[in-house]
Amino acid sequence: MPTIPNDSPLELSPDLTVRGIRPPLRLRDFKLIAFDMDSTLINIECVDEIADAAGRKAEVAAITEAAMRGEITDYKESLRQRVALLKGVTEEQVAQVYRNRLRLNPGAAELVLACKSAGLKVLLVSGGFTYFSDRLRDRLGLDFARSNLLEVEGGQLTGRIVPQSWGDICDGAMKRETVLRTCSLIGCSPTQAIAMGDGANDLEMMGAVGLSVAYRAKPRVREQAKVAIDMGGLDRLLELFGAD
């Protein structure tokens, strides 16, 4: 992959900046693209919107914002605190968040389709919840999805997260491990992977791959990514790639 010095950002067009690479690249040279979900692939932070049903959105959103900015170092504990505040929210209220509030970010479907057409596998790896990630996986035809499982009893959230076979909570370290394991599973090098995210818990996976992309991201994430998309849709990433 052609490179330029990491401290020499190149502005391709307004609100699209790259560093450490020299476009045009070839999309077919990559084998995997990994997306964060909340505020990256989709327009909302699901935990905040579920909290709205419990009348606790402001409280939960403040914790989410601090975690995404990297001001809270223990992501697992921050998520446990937020999920505890969701106790008593009904499954129907969670469903309403999916139906009424969740939207794909602009260009999401187009980017996924372009990547699949170029032969890439697509991974959704999230610190959010399976209720949303599994539906997005099926809706977009994604190859893999990993996120956290909310415990439900009697049709209501208990305020707890259910451990899964791979671990308890999908935090930054688990996102990185998931990307690396997926690379191994499909037989590619991490340098042949792309990772897109917006928050501090995405930095570990973004640092493990060949092409890291910050989408409307927090300042710390934007500064460390090879590509920063500040306006427009996710499909603006395709501006980096020439015709195969």
Phi/psi region, residue 154 (left: phi>0; alpha: psi -120 to 50; beta: rest), is left
- The DSSP letter of residue 108 is H
Q: Residue 41 — φ and ψ, nearest 5°?
A: -70, -35
The position carrying tokens 């399976």 is 130
Catalytic residue among 7, 29, 36, 230, which?
A: 36
Q: What residues contact 182, with CB distance under 8 A and at least 6 apart?
A: 32, 34, 121, 123, 144, 193
Catalytic residue among 7, 29, 38, 202, which?
A: 38
Beta bridge partners of 119: none
Q: Look at residue 191 and give its three-state secondary structure.
A: helix
User: 138 catalytic, yes or no?
Assistant: no
User: 38 catalytic, yes or no?
Assistant: yes
Q: Residue 241 — φ and ψ, nearest 5°?
A: -110, 135
Instruction: Measure Cα distances from 242 to 4, 22, 23, 96, 202 in Å.
Output: 18, 11, 8, 41, 27
Cα 196 to Cα 212: distance, rounded to the nearest angstrom: 6
Residues annotated as catalytic (active site), given as ranges: 36, 38
